[in-house]
Amino acid sequence: MTPVTRRDFTKAAGLATALSYSRIFGANERIHMGYVGLGNRGDQVHDGFLEHGDAQTVAICDLREDYLDFAAKKSRGAPKRYTDYKKLLEDKDVDAVMIATPDHWHALMFVDACHAGKDVYVEKPLSLTVAEGRRMVEVADQTKRVVQVGIHRRSAKFLQEAAAYVQSGGIGHVTVAKGYHLYNEWPNGIGNAPDSTPPNEEMWNQWLGPSPKVPYNKNRMFYDFRWFYNYSGGQVTNFGVHYMDMLRWCLGKDAPKAVTVMGGKYVMKDNREIPDTLEALWEFDGPSLMVFSQYNSSAAGGNIQGAEMELRGTKGTMYIHGNRWDVVPEKVTEANVPARTPVDRVTEKAYNPSKKTVIEPASGKGSDDTAFHARNFLDCVKSRAKCNCDVLTGHQSTAATLIANIALKTKSYLEWDAKAEKFTNNAVANKYLSYQYRAPYKLG
Ligand SMILES: NC(=O)c1ccc[n+]([C@@H]2O[C@H](COP(=O)([O-])OP(=O)(O)OC[C@H]3O[C@@H](n4cnc5c(N)ncnc54)[C@H](O)[C@@H]3O)[C@@H](O)[C@H]2O)c1
């Protein structure tokens, strides 16, 4: 007897509810994917899915016809084309959706997709505000959706090994963990395009979505939206969320208890709103500090070792690069009493305490190809297991970076109650945890 697949089941019973999607999915069955947002990142993620024979592109959605043409050409088969994501969500042939629109669109599209019974791969940062992220976690739970947040390092084997190494105490107690984003765009960056009439008023309006209606400026739109706060959180949520996630993962921490940030637009002459230079500092229970440094300079790349991230432990330091990690052992003082007084100095051991390494050097290599993350999503859609970067994980990493931007905006040291998701020492800062959508947009 031919097994009844989930697709047959929902068609036959006409039960395209969230729950009906959670039951039957043959191990060899193809997942019918719909893609919303096929620009810079959406195209890369589409490629990642196309590497897997069980991912079928059945629907594509973008505001740009040229992006739709490009995506259609590389798809196996002829996907249906949409410019309205709601129409794609109504398409019963779509099992799961990938969302790679600008950040201000993530929450609305995600929640609508969950309610339409689709599993979701959504790009990072999960949301534009903490309140949106919390709602996304709730809705995904209520509708029992499988969710992968596009923090793709979570599916890289060499980074899984690095995280396990640190979690097992390999470098001792980590007191400080840092991520660096270095990129010199001085002096002109994205330039100073003036506000103007949009080439296509309807497209501009659709692109703005829930964000405030503002005059068209070409720098606000494709790709460069990430330098404007209505649509993104700048480098803290762009690159910073990858680092925050990796470091939280290594340290096994959910959320910081305090955050403060200094920085500004010190040298750039373009019309971006976000800083070109900043230092963000979070404190976690443990205790440990996490730091994100964004500099308008790139000569030495990363930290002193050229790494993107470093974790400084009592027994050793781990350096994490794009495709490898290394542990450099610390030299630990053997004598308990280093010489501090003339009397100490008469004891040779105290005067010249010996130092020795207590761990061996270690390293790992690999790749963080997005195709691994797509594979994990497809597997979880079938098994209904949690993805490597499930919605709560994505929310926790995103929320930590979002509150850093609030510390910068309010020029403050903020104490964070992670359970209530509120600041306890600054009422003004709490106002930035959500924002008023433009009518008629409403988060479901
Ligand atoms: N995981 C990663 O490493 C990574 C890397 C780059 C970008 N990203 C994330 O991907 C997202 C997109 O960034 P990008 O660089 O691809 O930007 P982009 O501007 O190149 O692409 C966004 C696409 O979304 C489309 N879009 C916007 N509003 C839409 C709507 N209402 N309906 C349908 N389509 C709409 C645009 O037309 C555009 O093609 C961002 O959230 C970004 O943070 C993640």
pLDDT of residue 26: 82
User: Cβ(234) to ligand 1 under 6 A?
Assistant: no
DSSP 431: G
User: Cβ(38) to ligand 1 under 6 A?
Assistant: yes
User: Cβ(223) to ligand 1 under 6 A?
Assistant: yes
User: Cβ(154) to ligand 1 under 6 A?
Assistant: no
Q: Ligand 1: which atom is nearest the Cα of residue 209?
A: 31
Q: Ligand 1: which atom is nearest the Cα of residue 207?
A: 28
Q: Residue range 421-428: average pLDDT?
A: 98
Separation of CA 292 and ligand 1 centre (Å): 23
Half-sphere exposure of 241 (CA within 13 A, CB side): 29
* Helices of type H across 221-305: 234-238, 240-251
CB-CB contact of 260 with 292 (8 Å): no
pLDDT of residue 4: 37
Q: Ligand 1: which atom is nearest the Cα of residue 42?
A: 16
Q: Residue range 334-351: average pLDDT?
A: 68
- Residues 403-417 pLDDT 10s: 999 999 999 999 999
Task: Report strand pairing: 316-320 vs 324-329.
Answer: antiparallel
Cα(135)–Cα(141) distance, rounded to whole angstroms? 10
- Residues 12-34 pLDDT 10s: 333 344 444 554 678 889 999 99
> CB-based contacts of 400: which residues, under 8 Å, 6+ apart?
244, 248, 255, 256, 259, 282
Cα(327)–Cα(360) distance, rounded to whole angstroms? 8
Cα(62)–Cα(38) distance, rounded to whole angstroms? 6
Q: Which two tokens stand for residue 62?
A: 């973008």
Rounded to 5°, angle at Cα 45 from 9 and 225: 120
Rounded to 5°, angle at Cα 222 from 219 and 224: 50
User: Cβ(36) to ligand 1 under 6 A?
Assistant: yes
User: Cβ(209) to ligand 1 under 6 A?
Assistant: yes
User: Cβ(150) to ligand 1 under 6 A?
Assistant: yes
CB-CB contact of 258 with 213 (8 Å): no
Above 60 in pLDDT, residue 342?
yes
Q: Residue range 381-399: average pLDDT?
A: 98
User: Cβ(63) to ligand 1 under 6 A?
Assistant: yes
User: Cβ(44) to ligand 1 under 6 A?
Assistant: no
pLDDT of residue 17: 45
Task: Report strand pairing: 147-149 vs 31-36.
Answer: unpaired
Q: How confident is the model at residue 337 (pLDDT cuts 50, 70, 90)?
A: low
Separation of CA 106 and ligand 1 centre (Å): 9
Put simply, whether the predicted model's pTM sits higher than 0.75 gets the answer yes
User: Cβ(110) to ligand 1 under 6 A?
Assistant: no
Separation of CA 113 and ligand 1 centre (Å): 17
Mean pLDDT of the chain: 92
Q: How far is CA 121 from CA 180, 299, 426, in A?
A: 26, 35, 34
Residue owning tokens 């979880």: 380
Q: Tell me the CATH number for domain 6-154.
A: 3.40.50.720
Residue owning tokens 């700048």: 234
- Residues 99-108 pLDDT 10s: 999 999 999 9
Residue nearest (by alpha carbon) to ligand 1 atom 5: 41
Q: Which two tokens stand for residue 265?
A: 């637009």
Q: Categorise residue 321: left if φ over 0, alpha if ψ from -120 to 50, beta otherwise.
A: beta
Q: How far is CA 414 from CA 130, 268, 370, 423, in A?
A: 15, 28, 35, 6
pLDDT of residue 359: 97
Separation of CA 348 and ligand 1 centre (Å): 64
Handedness of CA 81, 85, 90, 96 (dihedral sign): positive
CB-CB contact of 443 with 111 (8 Å): yes
Nearest partner of 174 among 320, 317, 306, judged by Cα:
317
CB-CB contact of 344 with 133 (8 Å): no
Cα(368)–Cα(124) distance, rounded to whole angstroms? 15
CB-CB contact of 70 with 38 (8 Å): yes
Q: How far is CA 33 from CA 36, 80, 95, 178, 378, in A?
A: 10, 11, 6, 36, 10
User: Cβ(115) to ligand 1 under 6 A?
Assistant: no
> CB-based contacts of 383: which residues, under 8 Å, 6+ apart?
none
Sequence ranges of the domains in the chain? 6-154, 155-433
pLDDT of residue 9: 37
Separation of CA 221 and ligand 1 centre (Å): 10
Rounded to 5°, angle at Cα 237 from 40 and 199: 45
User: Cβ(326) to ligand 1 under 6 A?
Assistant: no
Separation of CA 100 and ligand 1 centre (Å): 4
- Residues 254-304 pLDDT 10s: 999 999 999 999 999 999 999 999 999 999 998 899 999 998 887 766 676
User: Cβ(70) to ligand 1 under 6 A?
Assistant: no
Cα(56)–Cα(77) distance, rounded to whole angstroms? 8
CB-CB contact of 269 with 188 (8 Å): yes
Task: Give the dihedral of Cα atoms 76, 81, 86, 89; nearest 10 deg.
Answer: -20
Q: Residue range 369-382: average pLDDT?
A: 98
How many other C-beta atoms can be found within 10 angstroms of the C-beta atom of residue 212?
A: 10
Separation of CA 294 and ligand 1 centre (Å): 22
Separation of CA 372 and ligand 1 centre (Å): 20
Separation of CA 176 and ligand 1 centre (Å): 32
Which CATH architecture best describes the domain 155-433?
2-Layer Sandwich (3.30)
Separation of CA 167 and ligand 1 centre (Å): 33
Residue nearest (by alpha carbon) to ligand 1 atom 29: 207
* Helices of type H across 325-390: 342-345, 348-351, 370-383
- Residues 227-245 pLDDT 10s: 999 999 999 999 999 999 9
Separation of CA 209 and ligand 1 centre (Å): 14
User: Cβ(233) to ligand 1 under 6 A?
Assistant: no
Helices and strands, number each (H, E), in the chain: 15, 18
User: Cβ(82) to ligand 1 under 6 A?
Assistant: no
